[in-house]
Chain A
Amino acid sequence: NAGVTQTPKFQVLKTGQSMTLQCAQDMNHNSMYWYRQDPGMGLRLIYYSASEGTTDKGEVPNGYNVSRLNKREFSLRLESAAPSQTSVYFCASKGQGAVNGYTFGSGTRLTVV
């Protein structure tokens, strides 16, 4: 009963470095999402994938790219990290059909210095 697994849990990057955040779910969900959470702001959607093979921009996509590798895995890439990307990143998935709640991973705390 792993649910949604994110790696790494913590990361410190220097400005300009790149990295990929990994996410995998084992619930056979079609839809997967990447959110960021910042103090005093609600969770904001970066990118989502409604189904395997499709990806779309969310509310704050600039500076990020995503890959839906297969039905289980959805990765988020920062090509050239900036201090404004310091945040906690959550991956989530959702089942098909009616309006279901998300299942979230435990998050990646990213600091860009």
Chain B
Amino acid sequence: EDQVTQSPEALRLQEGESSSLNCSYTVSGLRGLFWYRQDPGKGPEFLFTLYSAGEEKEKERLKATLTKKESFLHITAPKPEDSATYLCAVQARSGGYQKVTFGTGTKLQVIP
């Protein structure tokens, strides 16, 4: 069974204090790993797709990396507007079922 575990559950950072969020996964053949941002009361917003170990993607202060067992979302010099819940999800290569397994998220708070 595919599993996604995100840590920490919550993270509080001072503005400018860089850190990383972790997403550990087990999947029977990775088709893609996704990162989303979710603001309170809104739907998740797509950030990145990573396909294979060693791949990296960047967007503003965010950089996502991927290994065979985990992904990291690095946040460099965060600002208060980066406060949100960040979700990780994986899609397996096998089967016709379009199953994407989501983690429970890391709630990030950036304090001015």
| A-side interface residues, number (CB < 8 Å) | 25
A107 touches B98 (CB 8 A): no
Q: Residue of B at shortest CB range from A57?
A: B97
**Interface presence of A45 (CB below 8 A):** yes
CA distance A102 to B45 in the complex (A): 8
CB distance from B57 to the nearest CB of A (A): 11
Segment at the interface with A among B12-20, B29-37, B65-73 = B29-37
CA distance A105 to B44 in the complex (A): 8
CA distance A23 to B100 in the complex (A): 20
B42 touches A107 (CB 8 A): yes
Interface of B is mostly: strand
CB < 8 Å neighbour of B49 from A31, A43, A92, A99:
A99
A50 touches B49 (CB 8 A): no
B42 touches A58 (CB 8 A): no
CB < 8 Å neighbour of B32 from A40, A42, A44, A99:
A99
A90 touches B43 (CB 8 A): yes
CB distance from B100 to the nearest CB of A (A): 7
A43 touches B98 (CB 8 A): no
CB < 8 Å neighbour of A50 from B44, B48, B98:
B98
Could you say which residues of chain A place their CB within 8 Å of the CB of B97?
56
Listed A/B pairs (20) with beta-carbon separation below 8 Å: A4-B43, A40-B104, A42-B102, A42-B103, A43-B44, A43-B87, A43-B102, A45-B99, A50-B98, A99-B49, A99-B51, A99-B91, A101-B34, A101-B49, A102-B100, A103-B46, A104-B43, A104-B44, A104-B45, A106-B42
| Known contacts A59-B99, A101-B47, A104-B44; 18 further A-B pairs (Cβ under 8 A) | A33-B98, A41-B104, A42-B87, A42-B89, A42-B101, A43-B44, A90-B43, A90-B44, A99-B31, A99-B49, A101-B34, A101-B36, A101-B46, A101-B48, A103-B46, A104-B43, A107-B42, A107-B43
